[in-house]
Structure 1
Amino acid sequence: MKTTLITGGNSGIGAAIAELLLVRGEKVVSLGLELPAAEHENLFGYTADLTDAANTAEVAAQIASDHQIDALVHNAGMILPNLLPDASPQDILTLSQLHLAAPMALTQAVLAGMEERGSGRILFISSRASMGMPTRSAYSATKAGVHGMARTWALELAPKGITVNVIAPGPVLTENFWGIVPKDGELQGKIADGVPVKRIGTSDDIANAAGFFLDDKASFVTGQVLFVCGGTSLGSLPS
């Protein structure tokens, strides 16, 4: 039975991907600040602060010891919005640890097993903001960095049967989104109107795309960035 490790698997997009995989009959290991609220015989929860390098290394070793990981979904993220005059260099360091260094440590912990089996899936959940967006200096920079790192890994790991891909969502109705945009308020409506498909995305929209990349049949697809964004990658959004 295939086992997928999902960071941020306890809520939002991560929880939606976990649910999809559990319905498929697969095992899911959720890693987040909190344990998942859902219960299932094939769902296993771990907690860690992925902005803490030592905590990340510790939990990575524990998960690798406890489970045979066949796929990783690097989904956990944080925004830290600020216009340039108020932005802090520390934001860059914090989000680099969360979006880049933590995924590297987790992947390194389980990579040997994937290489031995000659197969594996690594999937990053990035953001349309990687193309640039007001108030997103640290977030955009580190999410754009995800794309470069994923493509590098794709080239290195392709001969070993391991694919590496990226989903870059547009605006999605999650607690992360509502932490910045008042729920069901005027700005949310303005953002929805600015999306070419005239709605904001859902966690299931992203999970459906993830299901494709994680499938065994997707072995000929690697190094790709898929914008699941309602068309917002073709233009700009109100901020």
Structure 2
Amino acid sequence: MKKNRILATALAATSVLGLSACVTDPNTGEQKISRTAIGSILGGTAGYLLGDVIGGSTARIIGAGIGGSAGAVIGKQFDDQIKELDEMTEGTGVDVTEIGDGEAILVNLPDGVTFAVDSSTITPAFQGTLDVIANSLIKYPNSLIDVYGFTDSTGSDSYNLSLSQRRAIAVADYLAARGVARARMATQGYGEDPRYFKASNDTPEGRAQNRRVEIKITPISEQDVAQAQGG
């Protein structure tokens, strides 16, 4: 499984916490950092990942008509989806990772191949990769999808915020055009918010990591649906 910088940072930081901060994956036997441990280490830095979905889940679950899945089904579907996404995007530059303790899947879309410089138009060469992601979202419909946009620190704050928002919307609109229910998706641009930089902006390589769009896929359970409906 590919690893992103957020989880790598968490692993390094939690090494001082010992095994009490770890949980064991029942499928692989692999130890990983629990959601609680990651949250205590990263705090606000990963808040947009470990927190609730954009705008809260209640209205979005009802609006999207999501049915939810039983707990055991969620675990199986989560494992299948992340494995399939990881395999199908191999070699494209896309990074697929697990967020928290099976809470969500994060799909990181690299700036250099997703968009041209200073553009919110998806490059034709990358559309096939987004088609694969769209097919996965259609295959596993019981989830909410957040699309986040980020930039580096080059340029003005207001321009970068607008660019990040337009890029997030462009990805969501593309997925919707391929059949993903738009009601499942919400977008948020963070611009050059320093809390969410993945690397230093002092180097071209670091700035490239900071320019990105991320798709967060949050599974919805039958219990989540019942709560949203007031049951």
TM score, norm. by length of structure 2: 0.35
Larger relative contact order, structure 1 or 2 (CA cutoff 8 Å, min sep 6): 2
